[in-house]
Copies of this chain bind each other. A is one copy, B any other.
Amino acid sequence: MADSGARIGVLGASGYTGSEAVRLLLRHPKIVIRTLTGDRHAGQPMEKVFPQFAGLGLPTLVKLEEVDAGALDLIFCALPHGTTQTVIKKLAVSAPKLKIVDISADFRINDPDIYEKWYGHAHQAVELQKEAVYGLTEIYRDKIKTARLVANPGCFTTTSIIAIVPLLEAGAIDPDSIVIDSKTGMTGAGRAAREEMLFSEVSEGLHAYGVGHHRHMSELDQEFSLAAKRPVVATFTPHLAPMNRGIYATHYVKLAGKTTAEQLHKLLIDFYKDEPFVNVLDFGAVPQSRHVRGTNFVQVGVVADRVAGKAIVIATLDNLVKGASGQAVQNMNLMLGFPETEGLMQLALFP
């Protein structure tokens, strides 16, 4: 964090994606953190909520209504899904020049009808929804640069879009038989105190959830269909693994026509050859989630299946960094004209 620079706020700083944004911003040389909100913790210093930030001069947490949006250049919204759209609507009115990166799911679905179908209520800020740019940086970089409101993608969807979209765009795989088996660390479930997230409920075991009907599917449908230029509905099963961080997504694809697994690999290598944060491994190599822990990097591997005409594409990232707040900072860098990798080149904490 610099002494001066772009003035930044983080709404929802007492949750995991909020604190992760703070971790990254504190070491970003071109910004100043001016405002942190945390409703339950309003009035407390940030270091009472997250003692790792002791002595770093962070502002005290305030309530949402205390935020002076006009005094900020950019706000990260790390609020719960559903409430965010109303908050952002007010901000957009009161501070029309304010740039916003929303880390919630509220503005990710372009079509308000589809939003309503998956989320069970009408969207409260339809005009802003039209304006919002989907913040998968590697796909929508140019639009993000000039956006006022960026809808930062979900962690599962970021992982699978990076693995699959280039293959759909190239027509290299069958859009009708994609199977995604994804595993996430526990921080993906957030910091709300729920019985099923207690250590003793989760440790030493594994399970799937949201089988057959998980909300992240709407994001996948949207982006996969755009890439394939036709409707795509993939099979997707998320699992909870006993670890803090990491998305590990195993994609089972059917090769189109005479395409080979090696050609899928070549397609991904070419697509990402200039990307600073996407690392396509050698053909046949298998990534591990721990090698991207704490970083904004994605690792992608492509392996031929022994079943003829099939391939396995594996992608892994840190759900709190590239899957949430890291990509949010990456988008901020673009929106504020900073180098895209500024503040984001931390290496993996392994072991």
Residues of A within 8 A of B (CB): 16, 19, 23, 26-27, 50-56, 177, 179, 181, 183, 185-187, 191, 193-195, 197-209, 211-213, 217, 233-235, 237, 239, 241-246, 248, 250, 252, 279, 281, 286-295, 299, 301, 303-307, 310, 312, 314, 316, 320, 345-351
Residue of B nearest to A349 (CB): B294
Contact of A303 among B212, B244, B250, B293 (CB under 8 A): B212
- Taking a contact as CB atoms under 8 Å apart, the answer to whether A350 and B290 are in contact is no
In the bound complex, do residue A304 and residue B212 qualify as a contact, i.e. CB atoms below 8 Å apart? yes
Q: How far is the CB of A328 from chain B (nearest CB, A)?
A: 17
Residues on B with C-beta less than 8 A from A212 are: 303-306, 312
Q: A52-B347, A306-B212 are in contact. Are A293 and B204 (CB under 8 A)?
A: yes
Distance of A178 from chain B, by nearest CB (Å): 9
Q: Which residues of the partner chain B approach A310 to less than 8 Å between Cβ atoms? A: 235
The reply to whether B27 and A346 contact each other, CB–CB distance below 8 Å, is yes
Contacts A55-B279, A213-B306, A306-B212 given; indicate if A187 touches B243 (C-beta within 8 A): no
Distance between A268 CB and nearest chain B CB, rounded to angstroms: 15
Residues from chain B with Cβ under 8 Å of A295 in the complex: 52
User: Quick one: which of B237, B244, B307 contacts A351, CB cutoff 8 A?
Assistant: B244
Residues on B with beta carbons closer than 8 Å to the beta carbon of A306:
212-213, 217, 233, 235
Which of B26, B287, B307, B345 is in CB contact (< 8 Å) with A51? B287
Q: Are A193 and B194 in contact (CB under 8 A)?
A: yes
- Contacts A52-B350, A195-B191, A235-B307 given; does A203 touch B203 at CB 8 Å: yes
Cross-chain contact B206 with A349 (CB below 8 angstroms): no
A349 CB contacts on chain B under 8 angstroms: 23, 293-294, 349
Could you say which of B51, B234, B345 contacts A291, with CB atoms under 8 Å apart?
B51
Q: In the complex, what residues of B have CB within 8 A of residue A345's CB?
A: 27
Is B207's CB under 8 angstroms from A186's CB? no
A183 to B207, CA, bound (A): 10
A–B Cβ pairs within 8 angstroms, 18 of them:
A27-B345, A52-B290, A187-B351, A193-B197, A203-B244, A204-B243, A205-B289, A206-B243, A206-B246, A207-B248, A207-B289, A208-B250, A208-B312, A211-B303, A212-B305, A212-B306, A252-B252, A346-B346
Cα separation A351 to B242 with both chains bound (whole Å): 13
Q: How far is the CA of A207 from the CA of B306 in the complex (A)?
A: 19
Q: How far is the CA of A320 from the CA of B301 in the complex (A)?
A: 29
Residue on B nearest A288 in the bound complex, by CB: B207
Chain B residues with CB under 8 A of A211: 286, 301, 303, 312, 314
- From B52, B186, B293, B350, give the contact of A199 (CB < 8 A): B186
